[in-house]
Chains A and B, each alone.
Chain A
Amino acid sequence: METTKLPPSSPSSPTTGFTVPSAEKVDGFPRRSMRRARQRRSHSSSQFRYQSSQVELTPLPLLKDAPVAELHDLFCKKLQQCCMLFDFLDCVADLKGKEIKRAALNELVESVATSRGVLIEPLYPEAIKMISVNIFRTLPPSENPEFDPEEDEPTLEASWPHLQLVYEFFLRFLESPDFQPSMAKRYVDQKFVLQLLELFDSEDPREREYLKTILHRVYGKLLGLRAYIRKQINNIFLRFIYETEHFNGVAELLEILGSIINGFALPLKAEHKQFLVRVLIPLHTAKSLSIFHAQLAYCVVQFMEKDATVTEYIIRGLLKYWPKTCTQKEVMFLGEIEEILDVIEPSQFIRVQEPLFKQIAACISSPHFQVAERALYFWNNEYILSLIEENCQVILPLVFATLYRVSKEHWNQTIVSLIYNVLKTFMEMNSKLFDDLTASYKVEKQK
């Protein structure tokens, strides 16, 4: 599926692709100043060109001054006015029009938020139309194809002054006490939701933040769309994992899912288990895990708290995808394992302890001290320690040789002293077993 990875970028050929031009990569030192200069530029989406004729806006009377009888009519007219799009890349173009739209949007936001009885049925299609026209657009190509969300400044949406108010309006609309899901569902349909989900790829974090809250409200209020939303999020994730490895809104979508999982009914449906095993666990393989790991781990733990029987799937899944070369990811995995162990049921712990502690032993002997350190911290956790103690007969033989060897060999003093503490703990737990293992280790060594 090469073709879906757009745009193609080959640093070797200067003629195609949109990598940082070879001249700038020069000696491997990115020119900070140069990159900064481009990051400041904000981006406008390609929607603007689709507006053929630009009519001049004329200010309408204020909503608060309108007689009650004309209020709805005026509200509707303002919504229509706000369907006009402006060119924000040219910051001086049509300033008057921009200001009129901004004022109108502000009024609409305020009116929906504060006054009751404004939202009547005929306004729904107009409101949704205004929202659609403004927010739905093809996101522009990324300015920086090697965009690293942790390092680089995101490209911001140029039309944000208007876009923000439109999102604000949408949010207030959904949160209004007058909001009637039965009326809204005719306009907020599957197609609408699909387009909404696509916007989560926006590079602008402000936009994704609004989208997150909005999608959450939609999920909460429009019950008929729930299954569809979950399915489409699945598709986005699967595409992210197996096809493009690029989607800006993974963390936000996971955050929504975290609270969705929280509300799952018991026993878990097959669909939800499948989501855990085939989507959430494989998400751990992503290169950009660090950006959404906290949210992902939260989802995973939510699943366990719902239904302890998924524990084994989770642990075995994580062990299957355990990072082989990336130590930062390994530290994240260890963090997640600790979160899981924090809430694990002892009966489930017994089922996974063997493969799990083999991996933990491997981490302890990692030459990267942060990995070893993170693994050794498990012994500072009282609950985990109690689990280890109960299963000392199984666990100690698994880790003993590693602990013993690493305590003699590790280059980092902190690790060595942490290991001494762990060995001491084990000695106190079961001195007989400890002595036996020491003896057999020495015999083994002598061979």
Chain B
Amino acid sequence: MAGADGDDSLYPIAVLIDELRNEDVQLRLNSIKKLSTIALALGVERTRTELLPFLTDTIYDEDEVLLALAEQLGNFTMLVGGPEYVHCLLPPLESLATVEETVVRDKAVESLRKISQEHSPVDLEVHFEPLVKRLASGDWFTSRTSACGLFSVCYPRVSSTVKAEIRQHFRTLCSDDTPMVRRAAASKLGEFAKVLELDYVKSDIISLFTALASDEQDSVRLLAVEACVSIATLLPQEDLETLVMPTLRQAAEDKSWRVRYMVADKFSELQKAVGPEITKNDLVPAFQNLLKDCEAEVRAAAANKVKEFCENLPEDNREQIIMTHILPCVKELVSDTNQHVKSALASVIMGLSTILGKDNTIEHLLPLFLAQLKDECPEVRLNIISNLDCVNEVIGIRQLSQSLLPAIVELAEDAKWRVRLAIIEYMPLLAGQLGVEFFDEKLNTLCMAWLIDHVYAIREAATCNLMKLVEKFGAEWAQNTIVPKVLGMANDPNYLHRMTTLFCINALSEACGQEITTKQMLPVVLKMSNDQVANVRFNVAKSLQKIGPVLDNVPLNSNQRPVFTRCSFNLHTVFNYPSTNNKTATTHTLLQDIY
């Protein structure tokens, strides 16, 4: 089927087709990725009669090639002649859906789901549904797991007899004897329930759900928990209690921590799905148990949900539930033995203050915040600090500032640079909430100290932090507090500190405005152009380029011109710096202004 029939325009295509058979995987892969080009050149007819059969035969290839093939075929409808002929794509995708490698299979299923939508209802019954059936009754587990993902896409559009068959197949797979297939079925249970008629949800799905939720393998049971969310959403409130709750209660107390973890992880979704009444009666005690679970994993997952859970409690007695049932557990978690649990809690606990209001926050939550601010684990402290804004709205940050400061200082000097980095990122936020005065008094020194940190990432973040602070507090503040210190570093014996001055200028010039830039920064930059370290000189050039736009139209005096010329020379010849860059262009304009 090589396309070399004398027509020169087909030659590249012939090459691609030959490469589909090449020994080198990379070449085959490249060719497969251009499959649509090949198909386009061949035309719909030959794509159907020649290319697809050929591809169906090459299924025994490397997984990488198969993956690319599976993906391509999902977009092939127009290339085989439109929806009328889309069923031609089924044979190759069917074989791909039975391949061992999970990613290939998943991609094939994804493509099959995609093209199923392009089938007419008749074609769906004549071509697609038989394929699903074949997969569902395949010998090896791979084809059966693939089938699980296909039921829900064809179910809504087929006749009622076929629907009954599909339900039967799904039932069979839910009790398959390999756990792999049961897992696949369980993971699609929710999706399948959504397309079923309500009566069948009650009669079929519920029994399958109950069976899967009490499977002998915990990996199956935990997937049933996921399905529980969708199923509960579908059922009318009055049926939930009898049909879903017994299973859910059992899952929340499952002997495997993985299942309990899943319940904790899906708690907010479950809560929304079952509604306020059941939440009050059932989920609150279940949640308490999860918060007190013996496995740290489960406690942490539950702790993560504390805020969301409380938020979604019915408003009429939300406060009472939180105060009497949830808060006592939360208090215990603050001093949990596991740091992951504490840090999960710390990331959401501040959110409770908006729900509980000012008085409760001061009386009950504040002590917890303070305790966590003093926690031995930096992550816990960071999580508290990063969420300060929630508390600020309710009680004002002043309440915390006494304990906040030592915590910040300690994090700012932490031995681990990532911790320091994290706290720097919260500085602008903190500064905004604590106000200029407090900042100048307590935090300014820290911010300046970071500029001479021995880790570059910290110095870089500190520079960026200064810029944000200037944006917050204004140019005048910058001129008085920051700029003198930054410029002072230009005379530091350590060249890295001198470079930091340049980086700061790069970041600050725009925020500080033309006047400060021209009068204070520019002279320093120009003076540094004579630095003995080449790297500094190079960065002077880059700085000039950066601050160029700010300086625009400012007349330069005669002392300054030569520096620009020299720097421009540096940039273009010595360092081969790309002159196509926009900002360099600005420097160019500047230079033209000079001459």
- CA gap between A243 and B102 in the complex, in Å: 8
- CA gap between A234 and B540 in the complex, in Å: 66
Among candidates A22, A140, A242, A278, residue contacting B257 with C-beta atoms closer than 8 Å: A140
Q: Are A242 and B187 in contact (CB under 8 A)?
A: no
Chain A: residues with Cβ within 8 Å of the partner, total of 33
User: For chain B residues 333-366, which have a beta carbon within 8 Å of chain A?
Assistant: 339-340, 343-344, 347-348
Is B88 an interface position by the 8 A CB rule?
no
**If the complex has contacts A7-B297, A15-B343, are A22 and B180 also in contact, measured as CB distance less than 8 A?**
no
User: What 5 A-B pairs have minimum CB-CB distances, sorted nearest first?
Assistant: A15-B347, A138-B256, A26-B416, A141-B297, A49-B294
Q: Given contacts A138-B257, A243-B102, A243-B183, could you give 8 more A-B pairs where the C-beta distance is less than 8 Å? A: A16-B300, A18-B300, A22-B379, A26-B418, A140-B257, A141-B257, A141-B295, A239-B180
- CA gap between A259 and B377 in the complex, in Å: 50
Among candidates B187, B294, B416, residue contacting A23 with C-beta atoms closer than 8 Å: B416
Q: Which residues of A contact B256 (CB under 8 A)?
A: 138
**If the complex has contacts A21-B339, A27-B417, are A235 and B261 also in contact, measured as CB distance less than 8 A?**
no
Say whether chain A's binding surface is mostly helix, strand, loop, or mixed.
helix
Is B184 an interface position by the 8 A CB rule?
yes
Q: Which residues of A contact B222 (CB under 8 A)?
A: 3-4, 6
- 1/0 per residue, CB under 8 A from A, across B487-509: the answer is 00000000000000000000000
Q: Which residues of B contact A4 (CB under 8 A)?
A: 183, 219, 222-223
User: For chain B residues 374-398, which have a beta carbon within 8 Å of chain A?
Assistant: 377-379, 382-383
- CA gap between A235 and B296 in the complex, in Å: 29
Closest to B418 in A: A26
Q: Are B100 and A282 in contact (CB under 8 A)?
A: yes
Q: Are B379 and A14 in contact (CB under 8 A)?
A: yes
Q: Are A6 and B261 in contact (CB under 8 A)?
A: yes
Q: Which residues of A contact B348 (CB under 8 A)?
A: 15
User: For chain A residues 1-43, which have a beta carbon within 8 Å of chain B?
Assistant: 1, 3-4, 6-7, 14-16, 18, 21-27
Is B140 an interface position by the 8 A CB rule?
yes
Q: Which residues of A contact B101 (CB under 8 A)?
A: 242
Give the size category of B's interface with A.
35 or more
Say whether chain B's binding surface is mostly helix, strand, loop, or mixed.
helix
16 A-B pairs with CB atoms under 8 Å apart are A1-B184, A14-B379, A14-B383, A15-B348, A18-B297, A21-B339, A21-B343, A22-B418, A26-B417, A26-B419, A48-B294, A138-B255, A140-B295, A238-B141, A242-B100, A242-B101
Is A447 an interface position by the 8 A CB rule?
no
Q: Are B378 and A23 in contact (CB under 8 A)?
A: yes
Q: Are A3 and B294 in contact (CB under 8 A)?
A: no
Q: Which residues of A contact B297 (CB under 8 A)?
A: 7, 18, 141
Task: Determine which residue in A23, A26, A278, A320 has the highest number of CB atoms from chain B within 10 A of its CB, and name it.
Answer: A23
Cβ distance B397 to chain A, nearest Cβ, rounded Å: 22
User: For chain B residues 190-243, which have a beta carbon within 8 Å of chain A?
Assistant: 216, 218-219, 222-223, 226
Q: Are B102 and A242 in contact (CB under 8 A)?
A: yes
Q: Which residues of A contact B (CB under 8 A)?
A: 1, 3-4, 6-7, 14-16, 18, 21-27, 46, 48-50, 138, 140-141, 191, 194, 235, 238-239, 242-243, 278, 282, 320
Is B258 an interface position by the 8 A CB rule?
yes
- 1/0 per residue, CB under 8 A from A, across B292-312: the answer is 001111001100100000000
Q: Are B344 and A15 in contact (CB under 8 A)?
A: yes
Q: Which residues of A contact B481 (CB under 8 A)?
A: none
- CA gap between A22 and B416 in the complex, in Å: 10
- CA gap between A71 and B409 in the complex, in Å: 71
- CA gap between A140 and B300 in the complex, in Å: 15
Is B179 an interface position by the 8 A CB rule?
yes
Is B560 an interface position by the 8 A CB rule?
no
Cβ distance B228 to chain A, nearest Cβ, rounded Å: 13
Is B178 an interface position by the 8 A CB rule?
yes
- CA gap between A121 and B389 in the complex, in Å: 70
